[in-house]
Structure 1
């Protein structure tokens, strides 16, 4: 269910409709707790939908490989029996305690009163780190320079230059080599920060001539008519310059994160992340829990699967606030099933 401009009371307000936020809806629902989900994006899915809907994800249990969009589709279906209210295209701007509960106000004028809050906002609002290249806005506007791949087919038969040394650069080089006319990977040093197995696959693809490696180079300039790209100029630290013919440039230099209003809520922050209790994911404010990439604690791993675990722990920790005095008898889903199932 999707709506806007509402005043609503609920058990749990979930901030963030990415994979971890969606799974939190399921975990809360299994404990008979109703959820309202708020997200600044116009669609659910967070970075999975906005940045890599067709990018394969390899570390989701029981799925040797699943694309980001497919994962979100299945998580939405899993949460659907609990009929969450999705408030999309707005962000939570105000938070205040009200009689032992929490009241949230959004940029669209919504007022949400909840007994507890689950903050699953990733690392806040995000945007790409752009390379400092002359004429970049014109090529961005035409789609010649992009910071995400929504559809692989758009690159079929194209000459693609990928810049960066992390997982996104390596994974998309491996994926796009299957459809692009040519893929060139630009990195300033031979060692990549990607998963070792993926980096090894890229090395093997380069050895077979399926991918061209431009190392040690960095982006230096763009060639074209201001909108249509014809080449990417590369340089070394020694001043050596060369041009690689290209139709598209994909700079994968990570995302710049901004917590926005969350930073002013009085939560315990550690380098733009929220410190939580590992056993409950509760923040310094009672009844507010943080899960997924925004949460930090000793031993934290930034993996979707760990976020799923945190969603379950937060839901169980919240249950006494929603149902005070009611004992929670833990049951496996194989025993209790899903309501309506």
Structure 2
């Protein structure tokens, strides 16, 4: 067995709510190990809309997803969280004394006094188009499913497939940096915000975005895993090839609770039922916060998740240290490590 890492709190999910849970646990003197199936922190916030503005974060009239994650990471940094990324928690087992043992797909083993599940909508991955040789072009980065940095696409020929907000929004954004942008959809009508559709229409008329409708993806062309073209076809068999350096298929995400469904927690469909006052689950010592947590009147907002993270951290402290009384202090009184 691998070396076992011991910690006060195991936090499953490195999205915005999970990162804030690190801060709240740290303010109570608890160390945290943070797990995420993605290879970078930030969750959906960083993976799906890193450069898209968010408007409902208090004190920020607008802040893009990646900047929010960067600031939450900096806020958690004084408490030295240990990140285990690119690996999924596969098993969670109770131990004596109210502790838990967690094992991951990467072979890591962690023992924790409490567990906070901040897994968003659960494990998620892209719906992949059924194209021959897709994995070869994925490996060569000719097919990608998210945009981490818009600058990575500067000067490239980009083909985007899909008809929803993600496809339309990235067509608008990448048209400012890419050599060309073609948007492929099986029908002329797109499912996006009216203002986005107005902008798309303007870009199409000016030639900055090519609307390839009504077409569907039909195949990929290139050599050695390097993409050079995307074949598209109509339902009646008309075909053509779009020159391309990269294909971005935005067909939504396949989401599942994954191993979480087998941990004996009370569930409501794909969400974990919790007590609103402290976010406790049906298993003492395990808490759930953010989008994965459910209770009557739940609002699926990031700011709600922040409040839940604070409540769960305090409840977790009582579980980990049942003999310690926490005297509530505001951060302005207590301060944080390294603060001036």
Under TM normalisation by the shorter chain, which class is it?
A: 0.7 to 0.9
**Runs of 5+ consecutive residues of structure 1 not aligned to the other structure:** none
- Is the aligned partner of 1:131 residue 2:129? yes
Q: Tell me, in whole angstroms, the C-alpha distance in 2 between the residues paired with 1:230 and 1:109.
A: 38
Give deviations 1:85-134, integer Å, cap 9, x for gaps: 33344433332223341322323554433332101123343332111123
Task: State the partner residue of 2:220.
Answer: 222
Aligned to 1:277: 275
When structure 1 is superposed on structure 2, of 67-76 and 10-19 the one drifting more is 67-76
For residue 70 of structure 2, the aligned residue among 70, 73, 76 is: 73
Superposition map of 1:250-289 within 5 A: 250-289=248-287
Residue 54 of structure 2 aligns with which residue? Answer: 58
Shift in CA distance, 215/301, structure 1 to aligned 2, threshold 3 Å? farther
1:117-168 C-alpha deviation (Å, 9 max, x unpaired):
1011233433321111233233323322221223333322222111123332
Q: 1:180 aligns with which of 167, 178, 181?
A: 178
Query: Shift of the alpha carbon at 1:193?
Result: 4.3
Q: What is the deviation of 1:200?
A: 4.6
Distance 1:82 1:90 in 2: 22
Tell me the C-alpha RMSD between the 2 structures: 3.2
Partner of 1:86: 83
Question: Matches of 1:235 and 1:297 in 2, distance apart?
Answer: 46
Q: Measure the CA separation in 1 of the matches of 2:189 and 2:315.
A: 42
Structure 1 residue 294: Cα displacement: 2.7
Structure 2 counterpart of 1:104, from 101, 105, 109: 101
- Asked if the contact 1:95–1:102 (Cα under 8 Å) also holds between the matched residues in 2, the reply is no
Q: TM-score, normalised by structure 1?
A: 0.83
Compared CA separation, residues 104 and 132, structure 1 to 2 (3 A): same
Aligned residues: 337
Tell me the secondary structure at the aligned position of residue 311 of structure 1: helix
Structure 1 match to 2:30:
33
Structure 2 vs 1, CA of residues 80 and 140 (structure 1 numbering), >3 Å: closer, same or farther? closer
Counterparts of 1:92-171 in structure 2 under 5 Å?
Answer: 92-107=89-104, 110-171=108-169
Question: Secondary structure of the residue that 2:99 maps to in structure 1?
Answer: strand
What do the CA deviations read for 1:199-221 (whole angstroms, capped 9, x no partner)? 45434444544323234433233
Partners of 1:233 and 1:40 in 2: CA distance:
32
Residue 230 of structure 2 is matched in structure 1 by: 232
Q: Is the 8 A contact 2:95 2:101 kept in 1?
A: no
Where structure 2 has 5 or more consecutive residues not aligned to the other structure, the ranges are: none
Check 1:95–1:225 CA distance in 2 against 1; reply closer, same or farther (3 A cut): closer
Cα deviation, residue 26, structure 1:
0.6
Change (3 A) 1:193 1:56: same
